[in-house]
Amino acid sequence: MDHARLARETVDTLAPYLKELMDRQIPDPEAPLNKIEAFRLWRLIYPKIALRSGVIQAAKKIIEENSAGNRAALTHQLTQVYRTNEHIALEVMEIIRSHPRQEEEPTPQSRADYFFQPTSPGKEFSAEQVSCQVCGTKDETLRLVSYPYVVSLIIVTFRRVFQGVYCGKHANRYYFLAVFITMTIGWLGIPFGFLFTPLTLSSLLTVDKKLRPANAKLLLEIAKSRLETDERNAAAVYLKESLWLEDSEQARSLAKKLLPELGPAAQPSFTFQLTSLLFNFLTVWIMGFLIGLVDGVISLPLETGSENVSILVMVFSYLPLILLLFFGSYMAAHLSGETAQRVQLDSKWSGRIFTITLSLGVVYAIFTGKFLAINQMGSHLDPQNFLDSLFYYGGMIFNGGWQLILQIFVGKAPTYLLFLIFVLLGGVLFLWNLLDHITQSVQWQHSLDEITGSMAQESGTLAVLTTALLVLIFSLVFGTVFFLTS
């Protein structure tokens, strides 16, 4: 598709009416056909372009002066929008191609047809049209997203941003991409790369949290529009998601209209809660284990090799670890927040205990994975039969963490000191991310209980305590076995 040409045609259609369109004035049914068409186009593209300040700036310039230069600037901006939003480009093309440029006298009926779904004045955007700008998905995972990243080329440093409405899948993808780009080539610039990289990384850690109120509003608007079209179950799904992001008066008043759909939800059984929590713990543990394993494999040649490794190589060898800690804590937090929702965790304290259990587990798992990688590759022991290797690897999986910690503190392994510091910082990152998501889920359950007026019979505390106790007993038993046999 020729996106530039499509953008030029769009700009030609929009230019005479831009002021009214920006003011969101709906044309009256007697308005000329071109104006109605411009309105229809604007309504289609507005949800996307409203998030790009470049497009809005260019549109404002045309209102000031409808010159060829200003129109070219807007065309350029719109081309980008169409390139990244293929489905919008297709819809725009359909509108433009189906109505040739020449003035024709329309019949009153065909004019009315243009308003396939009338928008009420004063609404900021037509919520029912908001969709993922990459794939066009419309579901409750939709989010306004703004992920900054840094690109450096030795003496120049660029700061860019992935911005727009994305579905859950694509938001994750662009988040990882932003972190990956920033961490690998962001800091390779003098002097701004060093300055902007940590700033960008810290804003990548907090940006989702900052956008929660805006996203709560977005999902609430979609919920309202779904209720208007009588899709009550869909409206309830959007409302619940909005409520997780932020509890507001608006959300509660809409919730009152959706009471039958909202609940009260069936109380999960203790067995379900316990298995969900244990499974969550196991998944996060394996995540940590893999982080340690991968880091061990990558950095092994440096740690066992020569003593005079340059600082730059050292720093480079830790990049994968930092990346993995970043991603791991992000994924673990999302996963555990969802688990907390599923088991209907309803007490702050049980949320905190679960968070601490997970964080301690993940730190230990990283040590274990690292130990396994080191000993697997520089293997001195060669297990003879299946039973031997079962004991050998089994022992390592449960005691590897302790062995590595002992090596660092008792043995002579100063190279691991930096590793230790990174893992502990990573543990703090996990703790912080997990606490945020789990607390959010606990508060959400609380609000939902209040709204639906259901009595919180069981807060999930018992299941959390049992999980923590099982994990503790398990590690104590295996820890003792290790210290007795070594």
Q: Give the binding site for Zn ion (CB under 5 A).
A: 132, 134-135, 137, 167, 170
Position with the least CB separation from Zn ion:
132
Residue with smaller CB distance to Zn ion, 135 or 377: 135
Q: Position 80: which residue type?
A: Q
Report yes or no: 33 and 111 within 8 Å, Cβ to Cβ: yes
CB of 382 to Zn ion, least distance (A): 50
At 113, which helix (H) or strand (E)?
A: helix 108-113
Residue with smaller CB distance to Zn ion, 132 or 234: 132
CB of 84 to Zn ion, least distance (A): 11
* Alpha-carbon gap, residue 378 to 293, rounded angstroms: 14
* Alpha-carbon gap, residue 167 to 135, rounded angstroms: 8
CB of 479 to Zn ion, least distance (A): 45
* Alpha-carbon gap, residue 372 to 393, rounded angstroms: 8
At 481, which helix (H) or strand (E)?
A: helix 461-485
At 464, which helix (H) or strand (E)?
A: helix 461-485
Separation of first and last alpha carbons in the chain: 68
CB of 85 to Zn ion, least distance (A): 11
Q: Is 106 left (phi over 0), alpha (psi -120 to 50) or beta?
A: beta
Residue with smaller CB distance to Zn ion, 136 or 320: 136
CB of 93 to Zn ion, least distance (A): 21
CB of 309 to Zn ion, least distance (A): 43
CB of 168 to Zn ion, least distance (A): 8
Residue with smaller CB distance to Zn ion, 137 or 407: 137
Residue with smaller CB distance to Zn ion, 139 or 303: 139
* Alpha-carbon gap, residue 173 to 185, rounded angstroms: 18
Residue with smaller CB distance to Zn ion, 166 or 419: 166
Residue with smaller CB distance to Zn ion, 87 or 252: 87
Residue with smaller CB distance to Zn ion, 91 or 458: 91
Q: Please compute, for residue 88, the number of CA atoms within 13 A of its CA located in the half-sphere on the CB side.
A: 29
CB of 327 to Zn ion, least distance (A): 19
Residues pairing with 145 in the sheet: 164
Tell me the two tokens of residue 125: 């955007």
Q: Position 411: which residue type?
A: G
CB of 222 to Zn ion, least distance (A): 15
Which alpha helices (DSSP H) does 311-414 contain, by range? 311-342, 348-377, 386-409
**Phi, psi for residue 163 in degrees, rounded to 5:** -135, 145
Residues pairing with 157 in the sheet: 152
- Closest listed residue to residue 358, CA positions, set 426, 424, 281: 281
Residue with smaller CB distance to Zn ion, 132 or 343: 132
Cis-peptide into 198, omega within 30 deg: no
156-166 and 143-153 beta bridge pairing: antiparallel
* Alpha-carbon gap, residue 128 to 131, rounded angstroms: 8
Residue with smaller CB distance to Zn ion, 76 or 173: 173
Cis-peptide into 383, omega within 30 deg: no
Chain centroid offset of residue 285 CA: 21
Residue 23: strand, helix, or coil: coil
CB of 300 to Zn ion, least distance (A): 38
CB of 171 to Zn ion, least distance (A): 8
Residue with smaller CB distance to Zn ion, 47 or 401: 47
